[in-house]
Amino acid sequence: MSNEIFTQLQNKANEAEAIGGTLKFVIDDITVFVDGTGNNNVVSQEDNEADCTISTSASTLMELQSGDLNPMMAVMGGKVKIAGDMGLAMKVQSLMS
């Protein structure tokens, strides 16, 4: 499961425009770091400090990706936790769709 999540996020990040900052996803026990400070998003499994950190579970991530869960409701309901740059968090949708 962890390799699937990493690969999915890596593929989406590679297709999306550079996000203009660093973003860390913590999904259960998986860390996915996206460095979008250059011309392209670079994805790794390094546990670096990021401008924005988004924490959630794999099941919540799947609900968000399928459209069964509204991102705003997920945050308000505590299923997704965001720390840091909220503007960067808003760009996450381009990595999910």
Q: Tens of pLDDT along 2-61?
A: 788 899 889 989 999 999 999 999 999 999 999 999 999 999 999 999 999 999 999 999
Q: What is the pTM of this model?
A: 0.90
Domain range summary for the chain, segments of one domain joined by +: 2-92
Q: Which sign does the torsion angle of CA 36, 39, 40, 45 carry?
A: negative
CATH number for the region 2-92 comes to 3.30.1050.10
Task: For residue 43, give Cα distances in angstroms to 29, 34, 38.
Answer: 17, 5, 12
